[in-house]
Amino acid sequence: MGGTGRRHRSAPLPPLTIRLDARGWDSREAMWRALLDALGAPAWHGDSLDALYDSMVAALNRVRPPVVVEIVGAASCPAALVAYLTRVREVFADASAALGERVELRVTPARPRPPTRPAR
C-alpha cells in the first residue's frame, strides 16, 4: 500500500547560537580573530567584509547556517569598532538573503553582573 504521495517537509533546524564577549576588544583585529575562530574559518581567511561574505556563501567555514552570532559587551569597545560591527551585521544579512537561510549577527549590551553582597 502506498502513501498519499505527499512529501513532508522537515522542520527547519534551529540556529546554532554562538556568543562572543566583546569586552576587551580594542581593535578590528581582535574582533576578526574572535569571529573567524568562532565560525571555524580556514587559516588563510582574510580580515575583510568581502572575505567574510564569500566564506559564508561558499560554505568555507566549519560553522554552517542556520547560525546566530551574538556579540555581548560591545558597549565597552571603541566607537569606531562599534560602528564597524554595523557593517559586519550587514554582511551577515546579505549572506542570509543570498543563501535563503538564517545567518544573523546580533550586537547586545553586556549582561549586568549580579550585585555583590557585602561580607558579614
Q: What's the pLDDT tens digit per position in 39-53?
A: 999 999 999 999 999
- Rounded Cα distance between 48 and 28, Å, is 10
pTM of the model: 0.81
Q: What are the beta bridge partners of residue 19? A: 70
What domains appear along the chain, each with residue ranges and CATH number? 16-108 (3.30.370.10)
* pLDDT of residue 113 exceeding 70: no
What per-residue confidence (pLDDT) applies to 116?
A: 57
Q: What's the pLDDT tens digit per position in 58-91?
A: 999 999 999 999 999 999 999 999 999 999 999 9
- Rounded Cα distance between 65 and 55, Å, is 12
CB 103 within 8 A of CB 96: yes
Confidence bin at 108 (pLDDT 50/70/90):
confident
Please tell me whether residue 15 adopts helix, strand or coil conformation: coil
